[in-house]
Chain A
Amino acid sequence: MKLYCLSNDPNKPCHILTFREVTMMLDCGLSMQSLLNFLPLSFVPSNKLMNMANWMPCDTSDPDLEGELKENGDRVFVDSPPEFCPPLDKLIDFSQVDVILISNYLCMMALPFITEGTGFKGRVYATEPTLQIGRLLLEELVIYIEQCPKCNFASQWKNFVHKCPYPLNEAFKPKSWKQIYNMNNVNASLSRIQMVGYNEKIDLYGALQVIPASSGYCLGSANWIISTEHEKIVYLSGSSTLTTHPRPMDHHALKNADILIMSDLTQTPISNPDSMLGVLCVVVGLTLRGGGNVLIPCYPTGVVYDLFECLSGKMQESGVANCPMFFISPVADMSLAYSNILAEWLSSVKQNKVYAPEEPFPHALLVKNNKLKHFKHIYSEGFSTDFQEPCVVFCGHPSLRFGDVVQFIELWGNNPRNCIVFTEPDYDYIEALAPYQPLQIKVAHCAIDTSLNFTQANKLIRDLKPKTLVVPECYTQPPVANPNLTELVIGNHPDSTLIPYKWGEVINLPLKRKQGQVLIETNVAQKIVPVEVKPGISLSTVTGSLNVKDNIHKIQELSDIKSKPVKYEWGTLNITEFLQKLSQEGITDAKVESLGGNVVVIHLQAEDALIQLEDNSTHVVCNADEKLRTKLRNIVMQCLKEF
């Protein structure tokens, strides 16, 4: 069994696991950190972004590089459509992948890169919410980028990365970066997904069974259990033990695995989601009361549902209930609608609401009461008439490189009464804001990441007791930003062997199959005659025709029934008893000769035969007289036990 690591971002994981000749891809996350090196895309020409100074490495005068890089403050940005770092394609040919298992909608953004134009022929499994909401995320991304086409594609800069200032000089593998896929790719790719339910047993070629178990992180998020009759591998991706809107995490299913692969732990190990939410509510209240606007860059789904619910309550309490909330995304309407029809995937509190019948999320009511207004874009019909300040705006993209958020920064960036609140943990907010600096707008950082923190993860490992624990190498060391916080690691657990892995590695996992399973059918089973050889231990020979179909082995009755069942002799032959039986049968001239050790030869002179006896074997040597041999055989068999 081998594990390949194709992603350098443990929060956008992508692995290949090979086991029993099945090649599985575990998640296909798309690392988007590359975006931060690009200039924001604006659909309204922006003075600031257009007039940014060109930048050239000091000792370079390559004319092809001219205009590709722009400078703002101490940062350099690429003036080109943004590029993404897809999973590593050098270790494995994607056409060889049999199955892709997707854990949650945030871990599938690279799917079109894997399945389209690569010869991929396999199956993709995901839960219904993962597919429906994942579709929204993929579509939003494509729309954001396609609505701001750029005429020039910069490529020369990749040859000069080493001469660029931080952080561009540390960009990860820029030459492998790719332009985004198009909508056709998205649709083709998503059409390959087969929807599955929690605890649905999926058969892979009869060799493996995979089961998605609720992971508590977001709508439809799952951990995957891959098993045979004797082995169990658990792939744990985005998981949460906190109580938010999704169905709680299913611990039980993950227990006692031979191998536990753990990725996608929290990106905010030192902050607590609850207190961050508290800070957020205070900041919003203060800003609105001060007459300022709040801008919350976000994904169109996920924690944002909890924010609507929580903020609307807090705004009521702090007397700013008449300030509207705007939710702007090309998929805002879909996101709000879908979240309210996926009751079966929600926490029991939310689920029970549909029996009332009320919508599980209050945002349907907020929309009805005009507290929450949603639009596809800021240029959509009705927005300009409905728009009123002060207000709260939720919009994408959290990288601040495209989407309507770019326009809101232009609009509100120079007013210190306004506030931008970062809630999504995926991007460093300082880097996200860098191309817009200097800004007057207040900045609050309240990243809310509900996935497991190190304390929770270590506790979980203690409960689950995997034999082998496999984690990204970076989880075995304190975070780069907080090297002295040595408790922020996955430690050693006495019951589990820890194996770290990193990007580009192929590691062997210690799982040796020793047993398989066969099904014994009626007629064969009826012929089983157990012989108790020791108390509690019985043996019986089994012979049948073997039928192998879809990796399922069946033992059926042999077609030629006349052949007698094979038996085996065991134990030691007692010489005295043997000689006695010989004489009973009229053979009295036996001459016993010891050859040393436990080897004894019995000569039967008259019969011209000899019998060599050892502890575990008897050899009868005689001429072609079958009568004699049969007689001797019967005597030998009488002295031995058989099963």
Chain B
Amino acid sequence: MPEIKITPLGAGQEVGRSCLLLTMGGKNIMLDCGMHMGYNDDRRFPDFSYISDGPISAFIDCVIISHFHLDHCGALPYMSEMVGYNGPIYMTHPTKAIAPILLEDMRKVSVEKKGEMNFFTSQMIKDCMKKVIAVTLHQSVMVDNDIEIKAYYAGHVLGAAMFWIRVGSQSVVYTGDYNMTPDRHLGAAWIDKCRPDLLISESTYATTIRDSKRCREKDFLKKVHECVDKGGKVLIPVFALGRAQELCILLETYWERMNLKAPIYFALGLTEKANNYYKMFITWTNQKIRKTFVQRNMFDFKHIKAFDRQYIDNPGPMVVFATPGMLHAGLSLQIFKKWAPNENNMIIMPGFCVQGTVGHKILNGAKTVEFENRQIVEVKMSVEYMSFSAHADAKGIMQLIQHCEPRNVMLVHGEAAKIDFLKEKIQQEFNLQCFSPANGETSVITTPVKIPVDVSLPLLKAEAKKFSGLTPDPKRRRTLHGVLLMKENSMCLMDVDEACKEAGINRHVVRFTSTLNINDPGPSLTTAHKIHGYIREKLPLCSVIFSEGEISIESVLVKVEGDDDDQKSVYVSWTNQDEELGSQILNLINHMGKV
């Protein structure tokens, strides 16, 4: 039986970096190539030496990146430029546009601010992106003669995609991260009934049933509003792309609706440029934004203005988005130092912070932060952490399974306990095998064989004609019988005579005719009728035809001869192919004669 093998190098029973190795039909495909944000050492990148001791390009046929989050693409330049992968890399157009910006952002933080070594350079990011082939949704892409891939809309972030991958008759769907409910700027994930052998789904929110995102958004807006109302300043450290735009839309619409006057600033050199990506990939956003973009582009913000450093000391309330997101350097840190000592102020951390950053410290409740120059900052402002990532909840995951009807399911990108809970649910509800390998563990899925074979139309038509000639019976099975002709690389199923002709051989027909004598006075036709009735009774499943004194049962012929006296000769004739039936009928008639 053919197999599909999956080995997670990351995201196996954890929400860390995503990196899965898929093997099917002799092809090796890497699904995502993420970086672990929690480590500063070798552990941040996947262990590519696990894959192969030799050159990695010889082993991996292609890499597919689902979206631009660094835990899904962060190790890509490392893999392509430092480990030395030269094969094709696939991602959607928006991912191709945005991923290098995030990679560069992260590189700067890691190398320039934290002084890390053994990291990829700016040039490496550029060289890596040159190996990327951008795909559009639903386009069928042939990676080589055997691998076909197709992207589906996944929601989650701009340009996020699920990928359907086929090699031969085996297929897999890898979801990456997705959400099944439309949000502020994105639509819901969608897939057709593609019936893959395996669906690999993320399961971040495997145990959450309700979409709790709305609640978190409400909570966020309420906190910001309260802080601004009492004259406080709100600092939101963000990275230039992704969550920043989402939060901007959120605040923009809220300000509009509540008619708030406090200024919102977006303090990034990149602001306009970043928003431009969103404007140009409007086709990837949700219906509402797409419909209205000509009149009003959602990413042209009315209430959000560019920030200037001198505004830091301005009196009165304000909301400021500033980079970088982990508060380890730059403007966001500068603002933090000024605002932290005031208890009226607030800082909202909308994303993950790695160990060692100021962000990480204050999220862990540090009340004072000490800096290199012995400067000590008291943290009196309130500190909030809020995650806004859009993932499918348990209901959404079940929905997706229903939509695409996989034969097996695999859960990754989720905590072990949560996965186990959902796994049980899936097995119960859909009666499907459900896998959840840990990192480094290989799951093997066997798939049924389906060999595509040419078939001669006359054979199919003869069967169809025969079938439609029968009285309709929903329980009746159709049977097809033919001869498979195999030559060179072609296989064709055809009628036996056609096959012999094609093969250039002569079929030899072997026929048997047995004669038996029975005593039955009266015309031979009457005897024939008797035999007919008898056979019908004994062989109710066979089609028995009585015509012009001859009885045919399938291809067995029975003929009665003789005058009106007692003695009748019954001929039973059949070809060797009907040996079983022929001899059975012969015995039946023989038996009947003796009764």
- Which residue of chain A lies nearest to B94 when distances are taken between CB atoms in the complex? A354
Task: Give every chain B residue within 8 A of A456 (Cβ-Cβ).
Answer: none
Q: Give B104 Cβ to nearest chain A Cβ, in Å.
A: 13
B243 lies within 8 A of chain A by Cβ: no
The reply to whether the CB of B465 lies closer than 8 angstroms to some CB of chain A is no
In the assembled complex, the Cα of A619 lies from the Cα of B575 at a distance in Å of 9
Q: In the complex, what distance in Å separates the CA atom of A359 from the CA atom of B276?
A: 8
Whether, in the assembled complex, B137 has its beta carbon less than 8 Å from a beta carbon of chain A, the answer is yes
Residues A559-584 near B (CB distance < 8 A):
559, 563-564, 566-573
Contact status A540-B484, CB under 8 Å = yes
| Given A515-B457, A568-B483, A623-B514, A520 contacting B509 (CB threshold 8 A) | no
A624 proximal to B (CB < 8 A): yes
Answer yes or no: B260 CB below 8 A from chain A CBs: no
Within 8 A of A (CB), among B490-506: 492-493, 496, 499-500, 503-506
Q: Does A407 contact B (CB under 8 A)?
A: no
The one of B451, B457, B478, B583 in contact with A520, judged by C-beta atoms closer than 8 angstroms, is B451
- Bound CA span A148–B282, Å: 35
A90 adjacent to chain B (CB < 8 Å): no
Q: Which of A196, A338, A540, A553 contacts B138 (CB 8 A)?
A: A196
Q: Choose among A337, A554, A572, A619 the residue that contacts B294 (Cβ–Cβ < 8 A).
A: A337
State whether B514 touches A515 (Cβ < 8 A): no
Are B508 and A539 interface neighbours, CB within 8 A?
no
With contact pairs A543-B479, A559-B477, A566-B577 given, residues A197 and B511 touching in the complex (Cβ less than 8 Å): no
Check B538 for interface membership: any CB of A closer than 8 A: no
Q: Is the CB of A519 within 8 A of B506?
A: no
Docked Cα-Cα span, A516 to B453, in Å, equals 8
Q: Would you call B302 an interface residue if the criterion is a C-beta within 8 Å of the partner chain's C-beta atoms?
A: no
| B510 interface hit (Cβ, 8 Å) | yes
Chain A residue with the shortest CB-CB distance to B96: A355
Q: How large is the interface on A (under 10, 10 to 19, 20 to 34, 35 or more residues)?
A: 35 or more
Chain A residues in 8 Å Cβ range of B460: 516, 518, 553
B455 within 8 A of A: yes
Q: What per-residue 1/0 map shows which CB atoms of B250-263 lie under 8 Å from chain A?
A: 00000000000000
- Cβ of A569 and Cβ of B510 under 8 Å apart? yes
User: How far, in angstroms, from A559 to B485 measured CA to CA in the complex?
Assistant: 25
Distance of B348 from chain A, by nearest CB (Å):
27
Cβ A542 vs Cβ B483 within 8 A: yes
Say whether B509 contacts A616, CB under 8 Å.
yes
In whole Å, how far is A266's beta carbon from the nearest beta carbon of chain B? Answer: 29
Chain B minimum-CB-distance residue to A518: B455
In residues 604-621 of chain A, which contact B (Cβ within 8 Å)? 615-621
Q: Are A626 and B483 in contact (CB under 8 A)?
A: no
Judged by a CB distance under 8 angstroms, whether B590 is at the interface is yes
| Chain B residues within an 8 Å CB radius of A564 | 580
| Least distance between B102 CB and chain A CB atoms (Å) | 14
Flag A525-541 by CB within 8 Å of B: 1 or 0 each.
Answer: 10010100110111111
Chain B 275-330 residues near chain A, CB threshold 8 A: 276-277, 279-283, 293-294
A572 to B277, CA, bound (A): 77
Chain B residues numbered 230-285 whose CB sits less than 8 Å from any CB in chain A: 273, 276-277, 279-283
Cβ B293 vs Cβ A337 within 8 A = yes
Tell me which of A536, A559, A570, A637 contacts B500 (CB under 8 A).
A570
Contacts of B277 in A (CB 8 A): 354, 357
Query: What does the 1/0 interface line of B452-480 toward A look like (CB < 8 Å)?
Result: 11111100100100000000000001111
Q: Chain B contacts of A393 at CB under 8 A?
A: none
Tell whether A178 is near chain B: CB-to-CB under 8 Å. Answer: no
Q: Chain B residues near A528: list those with CB within 8 A.
A: 484
Given A515-B492, A530-B486, answer yes or no on A197-B508 (Cβ-Cβ < 8 Å): no
Closest CB-CB distance, A137 to chain B, in whole Å? 16
A537-B485, A544-B480, A569-B509 known; A525 and B294 CB under 8 Å? no
Residue of A nearest to B504 (CB): A534
Within the assembled complex, what's the spacing in Å between the Cα atoms of A403 and B279?
31
A568 touching B515 by the CB < 8 A rule? no
Complex contact A616–B507 (CB within 8 A): yes
Compute how far the CA of A354 lies from the CA of B504 in the bound complex, rounded to whole angstroms: 62
Q: Which of A331-375 contact B (CB under 8 A)?
A: 333-334, 337-338, 340-344, 351, 354-355, 357-360
Q: Does B513 contact A (CB under 8 A)?
A: yes
Taking a contact as CB atoms under 8 Å apart, the answer to whether B505 and A516 are in contact is no
Question: Is A622 on the interface with B (CB-CB < 8 A)?
Answer: yes
A353 to chain B, nearest CB (A): 9
Instruction: Determine how close the nearest CB of chain B comes to the CB of A414; give it in whole angstroms.
Output: 37
| Bound-complex Cα distance A354 to B282 (A) | 12
Question: B240 to nearest A CB, angstroms?
Answer: 12
> How many B residues touch the partner, as a band?
35 or more
Q: Which residues of A contact B226 (CB under 8 A)?
A: none
B517: which A residues are within 8 A, CB to CB?
624
Contact A341 B281, CB 8 Å, known A334-B294, A546-B479: yes
CA distance A62 to B75 in the complex (A): 85
Q: Are A536 and B510 in contact (CB under 8 A)?
A: no
Q: Could you tell me the distance between the alpha carbons of A567 and B577 in the complex, rounded to whole angstroms? A: 7
* A553 shortest CB reach to chain B, Å: 7
Bound state CA distance, A522 and B448, in angstroms?
A: 6
Question: A344: which of B93, B276, B506 is its contact (CB, 8 Å)?
Answer: B93
Whether B449 lies near A522 (C-beta < 8 A) is yes
**B455 to A517, Cβ gap below 8 A?**
yes
Q: Evaluate contact between B486 and A540: CB separation under 8 angstroms.
A: yes
Q: Closest CB-CB distance, A222 to chain B, in whole Å?
A: 12
CB distance from A108 to the nearest CB of B (A): 20
A571 to B507, CA, bound (A): 6
B579 within 8 A of A: yes
Q: Does residue B388 face the partner (Cβ distance < 8 Å to A)?
A: no
Known: A201-B140, A534-B504, A568-B496. A517 touches B514 (CB 8 A): no
Q: How far does the Cβ of B273 sit from chain A's closest Cβ, in whole Å?
A: 6
List residues of chain B with CB within 8 A of the CB of A449.
none
Do B506 and A615 touch (CB < 8 A)?
yes
Asked if A636 is at the interface (CB within 8 A of a chain B CB), the reply is yes
* Chain A positions within 8 Å of B509 at CB level: 569, 616-618
Closest to B279 in A: A341
Cα distance, A614 to B513, chains bound together (Å):
16
> A483 CA to B506 CA in the complex, in Å?
61
Q: Is the CB of A617 within 8 A of B515?
A: no
* Given A344-B93, A541-B484, A618-B509: A197 in contact with B137 (beta carbons within 8 A): yes
Out of B139, B456, B505, name the residue touching A515 (CB < 8 Å).
B456
In the complex, the answer to whether B514 meets A554 with C-beta atoms within 8 Å is no
B503 and A539: CB pair below 8 A? yes
A175 within 8 A of B: no
By beta carbon, the residue of chain B nearest A343 is B280
User: By the criterion CB–CB under 8 Å, are B456 and A534 in contact?
Assistant: no
Contact A516 B280 (CB under 8 A): no
**What is the distance, in angstroms, from A387's C-beta to the closest C-beta of chain B?**
23
Whether B280 lies near A359 (C-beta < 8 A) is: yes
Q: In the bound complex, do residue A520 and residue B453 qualify as a contact, i.e. CB atoms below 8 Å apart?
A: yes
Q: Known: A198-B139, A624-B590. Is A537-B487 also a contact (CB below 8 A)? A: yes
CB-CB under 8 A from B451, the residues of chain A are 519-520, 525
Counting CB contacts under 8 A, is B62 at the interface? no
Contact yes or no, B486 A538, CB < 8 A: yes
Residues in A whose Cβ lies below 8 Å from that of B218: none
Q: Could you tell me which residues of chain B, from 381 to 439, have a CB within 8 Å of some CB in chain A?
A: none
Asked whether B482 lies within 8 Å of A620 as measured between CB atoms, the reply is no
User: A residues within 8 A CB of B515?
Assistant: 621-624
A514–B456 CB distance below 8 A: yes
Known contacts A343-B280, A621-B515, A624-B590, A197 near B138 by CB under 8 Å: yes
- B516 close to chain A: CB less than 8 A: yes
Known: A337-B294, A616-B506, A618-B509. A522 touches B1 (CB 8 A): yes
The 10 closest A-B pairs by CB, nearest first: A624-B516, A546-B480, A546-B478, A200-B138, A522-B449, A357-B276, A617-B509, A337-B294, A197-B138, A543-B481
8 A-B pairs whose Cβ atoms sit less than 8 Å apart in the complex: A338-B294, A355-B97, A518-B452, A568-B577, A572-B506, A622-B512, A622-B514, A636-B510
